[in-house]
Amino acid sequence: MSNSSTMLTTRKRILVLSLAYYPLVGGAEIAIKEITDRIRDIDFDMITMRFDKSHLKFEAIDNVHVHRIGWGGNYINKILFVPLAALKAWRLNRKNHYRKFWAMMTYMLFPISIMRLFGNTTPYALTLQDGDPFEHVFRRSHIRVFAPLLRKGIREAEVVQTISNFLADWAKKFGYMKKVEVIPNGVDVDKFQNQESRIRNQDKTILITTSRLVKKNGVGDVIDALRLLPENISFKILGTGPLMSELKMKVKSLNLKSRVNFLGYIPQSEIPNYLHKADIFIRPSLSEGMGSSFVEAMAAGLPVIATPVGGIPDFLFDPDRNKNHHSTGLFVNIHDSKDIARQVARLIKDSKLRETLINNGRRLVREKYDWNLIAGEMKSKVFNNGKF
C-alpha cells in the first residue's frame, strides 16, 4: 500500500476509525459527534462496524461521512472487521489523500497497523477513552497475544490524546515518549443547565444515576445503602446492561421495590430532564476512564457522590480530601454501602455544603468542560498537531 497523504488538497481531511457510531451511542460516539459538529473547516470520513443490517452502509451524519462495514453483529463480522476496515481505509485513502487518521480507542490501532505493514505512513492520532481497568483492557489472554502490536501502535502515534490523567499513564506504560494531550470529554452546557431554580422537597430525596448496568459502575452498592437510609429516599436508575435481572432480584430480596425505579434506556437528549428532577447524583464506580455522566450532573446543578478512581479525581474535589481545591463533590470508598449512606445523609442535612458543591461544579463545567472549548483544543492540539 502506498501513502499519498502528502498530496495537497483544498480542505483538510481526516479519516476516523471507530468500532461503533450512531445510532449506537456511548461516550466515544458522543465525543466524536460533538467535536466534529464544531469543526467545520475539516472534512471527516469514518469507518465503523455495521452492527445491524438495518444500518445504512453509507450515510452523512452532520459533518461525518460514515462508511459501515459488515453484515450485522455476528461473530464472523467482528472477526473480519479489522482486515476489512484496513482494506476500506486503504481504498478511501487512495481516493481522498487523508492528512491524518484518527483512531478512537486502542482497538482501532489494528487496522492502522495492518496498513503500515504494507507501507502506509499516514500520520495518525490515538484517543484513549477506555473506562475499564488496565488489566481488563490489556491483560486478558486473547488481547495479551497482540500486546506487542498495540505497544508499537501507541509508540508510533503522532499524537496520543486521553480524556484523563489516569489514561495518560496508560500511554506511558506502553512506551509513548512524547507529550500526551489530556483533553477531557465535554458537556453541552446549555442543554444540561437547569433554567428553573428547583425547590427541594424536604419530605423526599431522589438519588439518580446514569449507568450501564455492569459491575464496574457499583449500582448494587447504592441499592445496599438504601437499607441504611430513611424510606423517603428513593433511587432512579437510567440505563440497561447485563446486570439488570440480578439487580432487580436484589431489590426484590431487600424489599426495596417501592424505592428503586429501573427506567431502562433513556435517550441522551432526555437525560437532562431526569437530572433536573433529582436531588443527588451517585455512582460509586470501581473504575472510570473519565466519567462524563458526573460532569453532566454537575452541569445540571446536582451535587455528586463518587469514588476516587480512574479519571474522576481530575474534576471531583472532596472538601475533606482535597483541601487545596474548590469542593465539587463527595467521595466514598469502593464497595462501602455505609459510607454511601453517610455521605447521602450529610448532603441532605447540610444545605450550605450542598449549595457549595452545586455552584462550584457548575462553574468548573463552564470553565473547562464546555464542548466548544474541547473542540477547540482537539483542533489545535490533535488535528493540527504535527504533519498536517
The label of the residue with cell 421495590 reads 257
The label of the residue with cell 497497523 reads 113
Residue 380 per-residue DSSP state: I
For residue 72, what pLDDT is reported? Answer: 77
Percent of the chain with pLDDT over 90: 80
Once rounded to an integer, what is the mean pLDDT over residues 244-262?
97
- Phi first, then psi: give them for residue 185, nearest 5 degrees: -70, 155
Domain boundaries, the chain: 12-185+371-383, 189-368
Q: Is residue 35 within 8 Å of 371, Cβ to Cβ?
A: yes
Tell me the C-alpha distance between 275 and 124, whole Å: 38
Q: Is the pLDDT score of 289 beyond 70?
A: yes
Tell me the C-alpha distance between 260 and 253, whole Å: 12
For residue 78, what pLDDT is reported? Answer: 78
Once rounded to an integer, what is the mean pLDDT over residues 86-110?
95
Q: Is the pLDDT score of 160 beyond 90?
A: yes
Beta bridge partners of 187: 370
pLDDT tens digit sequence for 329-386: 999 999 999 999 999 999 999 999 999 999 999 999 999 999 999 999 999 999 987 5
With both helix axes pointing from N to C terminus, report the angle between 351-368 and 337-349 in degrees, rounded to the nearest 10: 100
Confidence band for 2, pLDDT divided at 50, 70 and 90: very low
Tell me the C-alpha distance between 213 and 210, whole Å: 9
Please list the alpha-helical segments (H only) found in the chain: 27-38, 75-96, 109-117, 134-138, 141-144, 147-155, 165-173, 189-192, 219-226, 244-253, 271-276, 292-299, 337-349, 351-368, 371-378
For residue 173, what pLDDT is reported? Answer: 87
* Residue 133, preceding peptide bond in cis (omega within 30° of 0): no
Q: Is residue 32 within 8 Å of 21, Cβ to Cβ?
A: yes
Tell me the C-alpha distance between 174 and 170, whole Å: 7
Tell me the C-alpha distance between 100 and 6, whole Å: 10
- pTM value is 0.89
Once rounded to an integer, what is the mean pLDDT over residues 232-257?
97
pLDDT tens digit sequence for 50-78: 999 899 999 999 999 999 999 877 778 87
Identity of the amino acid at 42? I
Tell me the C-alpha distance between 121 and 248, whole Å: 51
- CATH number of 12-185+371-383, picked from 3.40.50.10190, 3.30.1330.10, 1.10.1040.10, 3.40.50.2000: 3.40.50.2000
Q: 189-368, what's its fold?
A: Rossmann fold (3.40.50)
Q: Is the pLDDT score of 255 beyond 80?
A: yes
Percent of the chain with pLDDT over 70: 90
Measured CA distances, 136 to 69, 131, 176, 295 (Å):
27, 10, 20, 25
Radius of gyration of the chain (CA): 22
Q: Is the pLDDT score of 28 beyond 70?
A: yes
Measured CA distances, 233 to 83, 236, 284, 306 (Å):
52, 10, 17, 18
Beta bridge partners of 50: none
Identity of the amino acid at 26? G
Once rounded to an integer, what is the mean pLDDT over residues 108-119?
93
The yes-or-no answer to whether 12-185+371-383 and 189-368 have a common fold is yes
* pLDDT higher at 229 or 197: 229
Tell me the C-alpha distance between 334 and 13, whole Å: 44
Beta bridge partners of 281: 208, 304
Q: Is the pLDDT score of 20 beyond 50?
A: yes
Tell me the C-alpha distance between 82 and 87, whole Å: 9
Q: Is residue 164 within 8 Å of 314, Cβ to Cβ?
A: yes
